Amino acid sequence: MKQFDLNKIPRAKICSLPTPIQYMKRLSDHLKGVNIYVKRDDLTGIALGGNKNRKVEYLLGDALKKNADTIITEGTLTSNHCLQAAAGAAKLGLNCELVLSEVHLEKKIPMNLLLEMLMEIKIHRVKTSSERKAKMNEIAAKLKAEGKTPYIIPSGGSDKIGFIGYINFIQEIASQSKDMDITFDYFIHGTGSAGTQAGSIAGKKLFYPDIEVIGINAGYSRKKIIDAIKTIIKDFEIENSIELNVDDTEIIVLDDYIGDGYEVLSKELIETVKLIANLEGIFLDPVYNGKAMIGLIDLAEKDYFPRDSNVLFLHSGGNQAIYHYIDKIIEKMKYDT
């Protein structure tokens, strides 16, 4: 097998890395018998932080290598990826245009959209997510005709380039693990467009083979996530002439914690966000991290993790969703306003 040299991959180093790993002592005491750590990727340093920052480093590195001057990407109006891609582009002096599809906008402007407006990002609205790709291609064609060099980033930054951010993440964990003299047995994170999980699995194969990567589905189709993980890894293997030999049993996507849907806030979800805030002073977004934490707690209570296991939980950012769902949270908390 050819050796893969991460340092040779173009990268725009715009994040504050490594992010800290913190011991969640009170949560560990609460769960009894497992040690829970949190990797604070909400502190990556661009915009409001988050997992997309890591993908963006490699995507923008590739864009710069290709002499791009304008980044085009897509998402919903609440997309964390779009905000982080736009902020990364701003930091590098690149233009950015976003194609955003409608979600339940109701009366409020989502925080991410507001921040994009503050950066004066050019925003193109479309009605449904299925219209986004064609719109991005249309914008790219127009820019090319004007003599510009556009670079399209797919949804969530989840492709064979963006996912390298999470290969790098696992290498970072391997190094921190050595420094801390702790072996992490499990890595749990919220999963969606699959780049984070695909990168973590590839990173595990390359740098930290004994860790078990567990993706908690935030509300997508499980089959789509698994297919996307396989496709991204295959594309990467072809591109880099290497074989990672990922077995199907290493692609663990759990569907059990979606609750009532992607952006539906259950009472259990709010209670879990409150529990972690109360025990650790850490806030989790309800859409991804809250569900991933429900999964972690349930697995611990079911004794999925052998006694004294070290479990690493990803905080992937996105806390602005707490504000976006303020009404629903208050309603579920039966808070008297």
Residue among 318, 320, 322, 324 that touches ligand PLP (CB under 6 A): 318
Edge-first strand listing for the sheet containing 70-76 = 122-126, 95-101, 70-76, 150-153
**Catalytic annotation present for 79:** yes
The distance of closest approach from Cβ of residue 265 to ligand PLP in the complex, given in angstroms and rounded to an integer, is 15
Q: Are the C-beta atoms of residues 64 and 77 closer than 8 Å to each other? A: no
The distance of closest approach from Cβ of residue 143 to ligand PLP in the complex, given in angstroms and rounded to an integer, is 26
Alpha carbons 95 and 72: distance in angstroms, whole number: 9
Options 3-11, 24-32, 190-198, 243-251: segment touching ligand PLP (CB under 6 A): 190-198
The distance of closest approach from Cβ of residue 224 to ligand PLP in the complex, given in angstroms and rounded to an integer, is 11
The reply on whether position 116 binds ligand PLP by CB under 6 A is no
Cβ closer to ligand PLP: 84 or 177?
Answer: 84
Which helix or strand (DSSP H or E) is residue 292 part of? helix 289-301
Alpha carbons 97 and 117: distance in angstroms, whole number: 11
Number of residues near ligand PLP (by CB under 6 A): 19
Residue among 51, 53, 101, 112 that touches ligand PLP (CB under 6 A): 51
The reply on whether position 200 binds ligand PLP by CB under 6 A is no
Beta pairing partners, 198: none
Count of Cβ atoms closer than 10 Å to residue 167 Cβ? 26
Options 12-20, 59-67, 137-145, 195-203: segment touching ligand PLP (CB under 6 A): 195-203
Question: From the candidates 79, 177, 200, 316, which is the catalytic residue?
Answer: 79
Alpha carbons 58 and 322: distance in angstroms, whole number: 28
Provide the CA 9 distance to its chain's centre, in angstroms. 20
Residue among 19, 191, 266, 310 that touches ligand PLP (CB under 6 A): 191
Q: Are the C-beta atoms of residues 316 and 289 closer than 8 Å to each other? A: yes
Which residues in 27-54 are b (16+ Cβ under 10 Å) and which e? Answer: bbebbeebbbbbbbbbbbebbbbbbbbb
Site for ligand PLP in 31-50 (CB under 6 A): 50
Options 102-110, 191-199, 269-277, 300-308: segment touching ligand PLP (CB under 6 A): 191-199
The reply on whether position 219 binds ligand PLP by CB under 6 A is no
What is the pattern of x (binds ligand PLP, CB under 6 A) and - over residues 133-172?
A: -----------------------x-x--------------
Helices 289-301 and 267-280: angle between axes, nearest 10 degrees: 80
Q: What are phi and psi of 315, to 5 degrees?
A: -95, 110
The distance of closest approach from Cβ of residue 6 to ligand PLP in the complex, given in angstroms and rounded to an integer, is 18
3-state secondary structure (DSSP) of residue 319 = coil
The reply on whether position 81 binds ligand PLP by CB under 6 A is yes
What is the pattern of x (binds ligand PLP, CB under 6 A) and - over residues 278-317?
A: -------x--x---------------------------xx
The distance of closest approach from Cβ of residue 316 to ligand PLP in the complex, given in angstroms and rounded to an integer, is 3
Options 172-180, 192-200, 235-243, 301-309: segment touching ligand PLP (CB under 6 A): 192-200
Provide the CA 71 distance to its chain's centre, in angstroms. 19
Provide the CA 271 distance to its chain's centre, in angstroms. 23
Q: Which of 259, 245, 200 is nearest to 225 (CA)?
A: 200
The reply on whether position 195 binds ligand PLP by CB under 6 A is yes
Catalytic residues: 79
Positions touching ligand PLP (CB under 6 A) are 50-51, 80-81, 156, 158, 190-197, 285, 288, 316-318
